[in-house]
A and B are shown apart, each in its own frame.
Chain A
Amino acid sequence: MQILYHFIVAYLSVSLLVYLFREKRLRWQISTAIVLVMFLLRLFLIK
């Protein structure tokens, strides 16, 4: 169960990371970074 949880959060974190570098508008990049913080904290079970 925990491996599945990690896989889902890791997949979404990588997707956000890719989006962060593709996005050209600064406002959307900042929004992505804020969400990425929460996903990375979840990924390392800091919650």
Chain B
Amino acid sequence: MSRHTVCAAGLLLAVVVVCVVSGLRFRSMHTEDAIYPDGSLTEHRRLSDYFPALQGSAGDTDVYIFQGEAAGAGLLILGGTHPNEPAGFITTLMLVEKTQVVQGKIVFIPQANHSGFTHNDPFEASPQRFAITTPEGKRWFRYGSRLTNPVHQWPDPALYINPSGQKLAGAEMRNLNRNYPGSRTGGLTQQVAHAVMELMREEGIDVAVDLHEAAPEYPVVNALVFHENSAELAAVTVMGLEMTDLSFRLEESPRNLRGLSHREWGDHAGVFAFLFETANASHGRLKGRPSTALITEGQDQYYVKAARLGLLFVPFDEKGIPLRGRVARHVAALQALLSSWAELYPLKPLEVQGWPSAEAIAAAGVGPFLHPPN
């Protein structure tokens, strides 16, 4: 056998090894994150139960329903609309594992864009996973992409006109939060949006919250975005938060920015629609090297410099903005929303027990409030 044939065979073997190792590692992104709902869970459904065309697709996702003994209002909490904004996903997951509803109903979707959890954004060098330490060990969670996986929805158009008629960049066709109210016959992301709308109608949802994160240099951060039909509820909620020393920017949903949850949920499902934003350094453009520590601890020297130069919309020092603080902020806002609801709509009660306080999460971290790893 000639020398160049031996070299070719050796190189081919190396190619196969590289493909198998990297392929298995990447395919592990399709392994589901474990969620252990509280024992008071009333019903575990799938999004495809509300729109059967999603069955068997990457867009189908878990829906957790907690129904109280007494009738009352319906609340929908959505996490994972953007899987690279982990505070939304982790807050929803933690509450699924800690919720007992006394009056009314709470519906959780922790991974709203399920397909987005199966890949990362190209060229971002994002970690595939991050860990949260519980007293019994570490639990690992996927860090996904803002958009639906192109393997599941492809190709993108050059220019995308969403179901509400807004012109957007082509890739936004895979952004769940640009696709409401969705479409029965559109791409996978539009169908997921349609299924969420169907869920709200079928489950009798009154209030719906979409949990997000944004870069510290983005103006709408540490913010509560509300549909104009929810102005009073939003104002009372933010006043309640101010009394606990948590400052939230109050932003009305722009009427000409279409396809977003806080706009289309209010317009098409008639619910009180909200979107909460926290500040996440791992999500921003000014960050240094991406790492799991940046996701969980939120410390970044370049953001410290940016804050000193007055370029950010949130305070940012050497302590950073850790995941525990971001989850605590989401929980505080949800608790304030429930208090405001009780004050404004006493005839349609919504009472929940078991949620850890924002102070406890900020002090001890998320880990102590998660189910131990199996």
> What residues make up the interface of A, taking CB atoms closer than 8 Å to B?
17, 20-21, 23-26, 29-30, 32-33, 36-37, 40-41, 44-47
- Measured between C-beta atoms, what is the minimum distance from B151 to chain A in Å? 5
Additional pairs, 4, CB under 8 Å, beyond known A24-B4, A44-B19: A21-B4, A26-B4, A29-B4, A37-B15
CA distance A17 to B5 in the complex (A): 12
Q: B125 at interface (Cβ–Cβ under 8 A)? A: no
Contacts of B5 in A (CB 8 A): 21
Number of interface residues of B (CB under 8 A): 16
CB distance B22 to A33 under 8 Å? no
- Measured between C-beta atoms, what is the minimum distance from A4 to chain B in Å? 12
Q: B23 at interface (Cβ–Cβ under 8 A)? A: yes
Given contacts A41-B19, A46-B22, contact A20 B27 (CB under 8 A): no
CB distance A33 to B12 under 8 Å? yes
- Measured between C-beta atoms, what is the minimum distance from A34 to chain B in Å? 8
Interface SS majority for chain A: helix
CA distance A23 to B285 in the complex (A): 44
CA distance A17 to B14 in the complex (A): 13
CA distance A32 to B19 in the complex (A): 14
CA distance A25 to B15 in the complex (A): 18
CB distance B7 to A29 under 8 Å? yes
CA distance A23 to B27 in the complex (A): 33
Contacts of B8 in A (CB 8 A): 20-21, 23, 29
- Measured between C-beta atoms, what is the minimum distance from B213 to chain A in Å? 26
Given contacts A33-B12, A33-B14, A36-B15, contact A41 B23 (CB under 8 A): yes
- Measured between C-beta atoms, what is the minimum distance from A45 to chain B in Å? 5
Kindly report which residue of chain A lies nearest to residue B26, judged by CB atoms: A46
Contacts of B35 in A (CB 8 A): none
- Measured between C-beta atoms, what is the minimum distance from B117 to chain A in Å? 16
CA distance A36 to B150 in the complex (A): 22
Contacts of B14 in A (CB 8 A): 33
